[in-house]
Every structure is written in C-alpha cells, then in structure tokens.
Amino acid sequence: MDNHWFVGVDIGGTTIKMAFIDTYGEIITKWEIATNTHNEGRQITTDISKSIFMKLDELNEPKEKLAGIGVGAPGFINMENGFIYKAVNIGWKDFPLKDRLEVDTGLPVVVDNDANLAALGEMWRGAGDGAKNLLAVTLGTGVGGGLIANGNIVHGVNGMAGEIGHLTSVAKGGAPCNCGKTGCLETIASATGIARIAKEKASESNDSELAIILSRDGKLTAKDVFDAASKEDALALEVVDEISFHLGLAIANLANAVNPEKIVIGGGVSKAGDLLIDHINKHFQTYALPRVAQGAKIAVATLGNDAGVIGAVWLIKQKVNN
C-alpha cells in the first residue's frame, strides 16, 4: 500500500476542503471547492467525486493511485452506515453520504464527525504527537471537542461524545446557551462567550483599554481581549483568567476521568497561544490529580485547517489496511 494516496475531505457550510495525502500523513496537494447547498445538498457528493478525478488527471495519476476516502462532516452522523441524520448548515437530513460517495467514486469511504477527525489529525501529525489518549478542545464561535482513548475516537452510544462545550461551568444562574441549557462552557470560553464577558466587565470600568475599545466600536472581540491582555491591561487579564479558570477546571475534571497524555487546544481563540495556555495550565494543575497532571501536556493545535483532512485520512487508512 505504501505508494498509494488517500483522499481527505472536510465538508463545511461554505467550502469543502480536499487533499491527497500519502500513507505517512504528508499532504501531496490540497484544494477547496464551494459547498453547493442548493437542492438540500444533493449535488455535493457528485461535486466531490468530479473534483477528485479532475485533480488526479491534472497530476497524471491513474484512479488506482487512490486507496480510499475519509470524510469529515458536520452534524449528527450514524457511524454504522455513514448516514448524516441532520446537518443544518448544509441541508442534509438522513443523507446517505458514505453510500453516495462510494457509488460516485468506486472507492471505499469512511465518514465521521469533523471535530472528531480534527482530534485524530492532531493525534497523528500535529500537537498530539502520536498520543493514543488525547483530548481535543476547539475554541471557536462555539466550543467543540473530540476524545481519543486507546487510539480510537470515542463516539458514545449515539455519536454525541466529545460535546465538551456543553459541560456545565456555572450550575446556577449561568448565561443561556444555544443548546437550550444555561452556564455551558461554550457560553464562557467560545469567542462569543469571551466577548460577552469582556463587554460585561468593560461596561463597569473606565480605565481599561477594553472600555475604550467598547465605547469607540460599540463592541469587543475575543481578539481585543487577548491583544489587551498581552499589553498587561488589568481588566483584560481578569477576563483571560476567568475563562481560563473555567477551561482549566473542566479539562481537569475530564482528565481525572480519562487520563489523557495530550490536551490539544485548537480553534480561532487558540491563536492567543502561550498567554492562554499558561493561564489554563495554572488552573488545570490546581484541579487535576497530581499523577494525572504529570501525565498530561496541554498544547496548542498545530495543523490549523489541515487537521480535518489529515484525520479523515488516518481513519480511512485504518479501515483499508484492516
């Protein structure tokens, strides 16, 4: 199998990321196509299939070069048959993604949740550095996650595992969350949550850079907070410490239960880098058991937008080689 390539596909609401990747996880070439959400997304598998074979032609390689396709998709996925129960951004409902793509391409296909595949990608080729027990936390507009135990994704009984954003951080009186509950980690540690907390604090302050930005722009972003914190703005540091307390506590609680070797923090908010990691780590050390804390390293994700396609290829590679 060693000179075969695999296809990694990461389907998002506006673009589909694609790559040919070799058996060692090296990207040969990567490209994107637009996500066609018309007609309930029925055209998408044909678009992917056509794009794969056009790219193969471009590179003068035969179909036999490809050994299989790994696909990351948003929404709820039935792992047994590769059906997408529901992906609101795309319009799929009970969509047979795996079957359609296998028929269109004649190649074996595996499908998994995009957040899980990003965790696998980081495990294989990124900050996870081969760790077979890994917790991935993605801090973006929302807070997502993936859990790998014994080298395998933990899906749980109905594919909901890894919903780290919906751990409850504030049991009583927390902010409302998109999921319908209140006080979820996502209401605090997402870019949106950070902006909300910063705004609350800045409204009651006069001398912070955040208060100046808020009165100038009428709004605050997570980036404003980290920029100000890196300049030692006291209020911004207070916001960073508050969200890091909740992240460190939630991650320590999970770590006491699953004892990961690596905890990989990704997503847009993770661009804050050491400033964020150091604050999270301080609280993590307080709440993790000493031996759990010794065994675990918190690191920023390194693969960026490539994590999904690389993780997808890891998964199809396991399947084809077994």
Residue ranges binding its own copies (CB under 8 A): 76, 131-133, 145, 147, 149-150, 152, 154-164, 166-168, 171, 179-181, 245, 249-250, 252-254, 256-261, 286-287, 289-292, 294-296
Minimum distance between the CB of residue 132 and its own copies, rounded to whole angstroms? 8
Minimum distance between the CB of residue 55 and its own copies, rounded to whole angstroms? 34
Minimum distance between the CB of residue 165 and its own copies, rounded to whole angstroms? 9
16 or 252: CB nearest its own copies? 252
12 or 159: CB nearest its own copies? 159
155 or 271: CB nearest its own copies? 155
181 or 282: CB nearest its own copies? 181
Q: What is the DSSP letter of 286?
A: H
221 or 256: CB nearest its own copies? 256
71 or 252: CB nearest its own copies? 252
For CA atoms 293, 164, 135, 258, the dihedral sign is: positive
Minimum distance between the CB of residue 162 and its own copies, rounded to whole angstroms? 7
Hey, what are 257's tokens? 């239960």
219 or 319: CB nearest its own copies? 319
Minimum distance between the CB of residue 258 and its own copies, rounded to whole angstroms? 5
Minimum distance between the CB of residue 76 and its own copies, rounded to whole angstroms? 8
Q: What are phi and psi of 32, to 5 degrees?
A: -130, 150
Return the C-alpha torsion angle 123, 256, 160, 25, nearest 10: 0
SS3 for 26?
Answer: coil
The bridge status of strand 143-149 relative to strand 152-153 is: antiparallel
Minimum distance between the CB of residue 161 and its own copies, rounded to whole angstroms? 4
Q: Quickly list DSSP for 63-97.
A: GGGEEEEEEEESSEEETTTTEEEEETTTTEEEE-H
CB 48 within 8 A of CB 56: no
* Tokens 């973006």 sit on residue: 140
Beta strands in the chain (DSSP E): 5-11, 15-22, 27-34, 66-73, 76-78, 83-87, 92-95, 109-113, 134-139, 143-149, 152-153, 262-266, 297-300
